[in-house]
Amino acid sequence: MNTAAIISSLINQHFRSVGGLRQVFLVACGGSLVDMYPANYFLNSESATLHSYMMTANEFVHAAPKTLGSQSLTIVCSHGGNTPESVAAAEFAKRRGSVTVTLTHNENAQLIAFSDSNLLYAWGDDSQVINNPMALILSLCVEALQQTEGFDGYADFLAGMAQIDGIIARARRQVQGRSAAFAEKYARESLFYILSSGASYGHAYGFAICSLMEMQWLNAAPLHSGEYFHGPFEVTDSNTPWILMMNEGRTRPLDERVRDFLRQYGDKVEIVDARELGLGVLPPSVVEYFNPVLFYSVMCEYRSALASVRQHPLETRRYMGQVAY
Ligand X SMILES: O=P(O)(O)OC[C@H]1O[C@](O)(CO)[C@@H](O)[C@@H]1O
- In the complex, which residues of this chain contact ligand X (CB under 6 A)? 29-32, 78-80, 83, 86, 210, 214
Least Å distance, CB 202 to ligand X, is 13
> Based on CB atoms, which residue is closest to ligand X, 11 or 307?
307
Strands (E), 132-178: none
> Based on CB atoms, which residue is closest to ligand X, 204 or 210?
210
Using only C-alpha atoms, the chain has a radius of gyration, in whole angstroms, of: 20
What value, to the nearest 5°, has the Cα angle with vertex 272 and ends 266 and 278? 145
> What stretch of H or E contains 12?
helix 3-13
> Based on CB atoms, which residue is closest to ligand X, 30 or 198?
30
Residue-wise DSSP of 88-130: HHHHHHHHTT-EEEEEES-TT-GGGGG-SEEEE---STTS-GG
Q: Which residues have C-beta within 8 Å of that of residue 279, sequence separation ≥ 6?
A: 167, 171, 248, 287, 290, 291, 294
Least Å distance, CB 194 to ligand X, is 16
Least Å distance, CB 28 to ligand X, is 6
Least Å distance, CB 75 to ligand X, is 13
Residue of 275, 276, 273, 280 whose CA lies nearest to 258: 273
> Based on CB atoms, which residue is closest to ligand X, 79 or 259?
79
- Backbone φ and ψ of 318, nearest 5°: -105, -25
> Based on CB atoms, which residue is closest to ligand X, 135 or 210?
210
Neighbouring-strand partners of residue 104: 120
Residue number, nearest CB to ligand X: 30
Least Å distance, CB 104 to ligand X, is 8
Least Å distance, CB 167 to ligand X, is 25
> Based on CB atoms, which residue is closest to ligand X, 143 or 214?
214
Residue of 83, 89, 114 whose CA lies nearest to 26: 89
